[in-house]
């Protein structure tokens, strides 16, 4: 399998997976994973693919990278890790499999595998046999192929070795490779209802743990990154709020705040829960309290602005976001909500300025693609609007709607448009 063929396989896998999973629609969470991964990738020589990152809303302790550089992290794993360093170690190991092209090489050893069967087998293997995987693994042949595609012990050792080297070079502590594996194994032994899917595709025999220990003894290196513990805590609180009934969380935080009325984590979780429950005025009041108690953490200004956005108070949201933007001009969450606030406030041209800045990193972010389509429709660029609506529906697994917008885009885009050329090329391939 050539590099270009593997890229093509990756694109087909992306459509299959995104049509089956629920992505976490939060720029801050996605950016946390992306930045962590890119800090490792910055020291990887001769990258074969453009790596793309996605966060799946699922409680399983899982992360996986598919052929073509597709990297998926489950929200359950983000809740379970104890540091950003542990996430860097998991991602580095996944990059080791991609750079080693382990799935592609295993496919080379299998005869008569159609691309369609391979897509089903790989997607089903990594998503597991639960609710998500069962929707994909529909035939015994695909199941057999998936079993054959599992990583071998040699694959795992090579991925560990590559990851160890990259982590050292990038300034992360590779001992996190061992601690995350031990954490997952402990979770498995304790009989958790969410047994780590990671262990089903990444075997952890005792010799693998021993191998990692020996690597550390012969090549010790240490954490050089200065972590912000509250950054990870924010991510974990956000995931908890996104996945839990807000009434239950509000009651829990109210109880905790009676004992510790000024504890930062409790106040932040309470504010997010209030926002989700649409008790906006109380959420704004709680953010004001956070800003008063912790004036050094101006991120709560951005959070308060997002609550104003949810209230439909777009001018107030823009005012606070512009203030926060001055100190954080590249913050993706700020750019996204400035774009959304301008779009909902009837100023799509201003929204487009921010959305186009985000586009290079979010070309396959389905919620974003839909908003971008709306934005182009608002500025009367109908060909581009239909193109991005097509991309949204194609990746969301809605072929009829996708086909309609593809036809409209082809009819409206000029012949010189790169988007039109891309659509034509896809049509020629039969995608």
pLDDT tens digit sequence for 352-369:
999 999 999 999 999 999
**Could you tell me if residue 142 is inside a domain?**
yes
Task: With respect to residue 245, please indicate whether it lies within any of the assigned structural domains.
Answer: no
Quote the CA–CA distance of 329 and 361 in Å, as a whole number: 16
What was the pLDDT predicted at 131?
A: 47
Neighbouring C-alpha atoms within 13 Å toward the C-beta of 385? 11
Per-block average pLDDT, block size 10, for the chain (431 residues)?
Answer: 86 87 94 96 92 93 89 94 95 94 80 71 70 52 63 85 94 90 67 52 68 83 85 97 95 97 98 98 98 97 98 98 97 98 98 97 93 98 98 93 96 94 80 60
The answer to whether residue 183 sits within a structural domain is: yes
- Which has the closest alpha carbon to 314: 323, 322, 305? 305
For residues 355 and 339, the answer to whether their CB atoms sit within 8 Å is yes
Distance CA 178, CA 165 (A): 14
In a domain, 274, yes or no: no
Is the Cβ–Cβ distance between 135 and 22 less than 8 Å? Answer: no
- Per-residue pLDDT, 288: 98
pTM for this entry = 0.90
- What total of structural domains would you count in the chain? 1
381 found inside a domain: no
Domain that holds residue 56: 3-218
| pLDDT in the model for residue 147 | 58
Contact status, residue 80 vs residue 183, Cβ threshold 8 Å: yes
Closest CA to 305 of 356, 271, 258, 330: 271
Residue 398 included in any domain: no
> Of 348, 267, 344, nearest to 306 (Cα)?
344
Taking CA atoms, 174 is separated from 31, 177, 233, 264, in Å, by 22, 6, 21, 30
- In-domain check, residue 327: no
Query: For residue 251, what pLDDT is reported?
Result: 97
197 lies in some domain:
yes
What is the reported pLDDT for 221?
85
Tokens (6 digits) for 16: 């299959």
């Amino acid at each position: 399998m050539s590099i270009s063929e593997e890229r093509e396989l990756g694109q087909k896998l992306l459509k299959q997976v995104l049509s089956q999973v629920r992505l976490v629609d939060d720029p801050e969470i996605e950016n946390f994973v992306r930045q962590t991964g890119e800090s490792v990738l910055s020291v990887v020589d001769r990258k074969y693919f453009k790596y793309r990152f996605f966060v799946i809303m699922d409680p399983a302790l899982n992360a996986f990278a598919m052929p073509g550089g597709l990297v998926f992290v489950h929200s359950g794993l983000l809740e379970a890790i104890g540091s950003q360093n542990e996430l860097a170690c998991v991602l580095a190991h996944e990059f080791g499999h991609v750079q080693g092209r382990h799935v592609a090489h295993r496919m080379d050893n299998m005869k008569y595998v159609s691309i369609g069967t391979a897509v089903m087998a790989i997607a089903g293997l990594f998503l597991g046999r639960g609710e998500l995987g069962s929707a994909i693994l529909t035939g015994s042949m695909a199941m057999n192929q998936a079993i054959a595609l599992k990583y071998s012990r040699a694959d795992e050792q090579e991925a560990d070795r590559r990851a160890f080297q990259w982590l050292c070079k990038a300034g992360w502590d590779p001992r996190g490779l061992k601690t995350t594996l031990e954490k997952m194994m402990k979770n498995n032994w304790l009989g958790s209802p969410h047994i780590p899917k990671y262990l089903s595709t990444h075997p952890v025999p005792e010799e693998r743990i021993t191998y990692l220990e020996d690597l550390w003894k012969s090549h010790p290196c240490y954490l050089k990154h200065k972590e912000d513990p509250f950054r990870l805590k924010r991510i974990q609180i956000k995931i908890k709020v996104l996945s839990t009934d807000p009434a239950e969380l509000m009651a829990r935080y109210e109880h905790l705040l009676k004992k510790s009325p000024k504890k930062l984590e409790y106040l932040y979780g309470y504010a997010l829960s209030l926002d989700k429950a649409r008790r906006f005025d109380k959420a704004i009041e709680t953010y004001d309290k956070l800003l008063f108690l912790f004036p050094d953490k101006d991120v709560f200004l951005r959070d308060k602005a997002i609550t104003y956005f949810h209230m439909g108070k777009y001018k107030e949201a823009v005012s606070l976001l512009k203030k926060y933007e001055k100190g954080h001009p590249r913050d993706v969450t700020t750019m996204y909500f400035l774009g959304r606030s301008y779009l909902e406030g009837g100023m799509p041209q201003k929204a487009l300025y921010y959305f186009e800045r985000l586009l290079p990193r979010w070309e396959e972010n389905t919620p974003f693609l839909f908003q971008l389509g709306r934005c182009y429709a608002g500025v009367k660029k109908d060909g581009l609007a239909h193109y991005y609506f097509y991309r949204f529906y194609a990746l969301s697994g809605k072929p009829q709607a996708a086909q309609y917008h593809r036809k409209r885009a082809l009819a409206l885009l000029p012949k010189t448009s790169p988007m039109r050329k891309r659509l034509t090329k896809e049509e020629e391939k039969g995608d």
